[in-house]
Amino acid sequence: NKRREMQLEYNKKHGITPRSAKRSLKAKKEKIKVEDFMELPDDELKLIIKDLEEEMEEAASNLEFEKAATLRDQILTLKGNVKGMKNGQ
């Protein structure tokens, strides 16, 4: 798929080696603790958010609206709180 190819090209260009997103799995199973994501590089945080967004869309297409809403809330938490804390707010 095109997105995957673009990601691989980006990773190669920037010397990024993909790693298992263990924190992402933890975040899906329990309430996200913003502090757990504070030390992640922005690129890795963006990948985790993208994974959560894809899972949210899949849940919505499978009519799992409660799961999709939970994932949406986690995404908003990550986008808002982590980025705000990293910027010193």
pLDDT of residue 11: 87
Amino acid of residue 87? N
Q: pLDDT digit string (tens) for 7-55?
A: 888 888 888 887 655 555 555 545 556 666 777 787 888 888 899 999 9
pTM of the model: 0.54
Residues 6+ apart with CB under 8 A from 59: 65, 67, 68, 71
pLDDT of residue 87: 60
List the domain range (segments joined by +) for residue 48: 20-86
Residues 6+ apart with CB under 8 A from 74: 27, 28, 32, 52
pLDDT of residue 28: 52
Is 29 within a domain?
A: yes
Pairwise CA distance, residues 15 & 10, whole Å: 8
pLDDT of residue 43: 82
Is 1 within a domain?
A: no
Which run of H or of E encompasses 43? Answer: helix 42-61
* pLDDT: which is higher, 86 or 9: 9
Q: pLDDT digit string (tens) for 52-66?
A: 999 999 999 999 899
How many domains does the structure of the chain reveal?
1
Is 79 within a domain?
A: yes
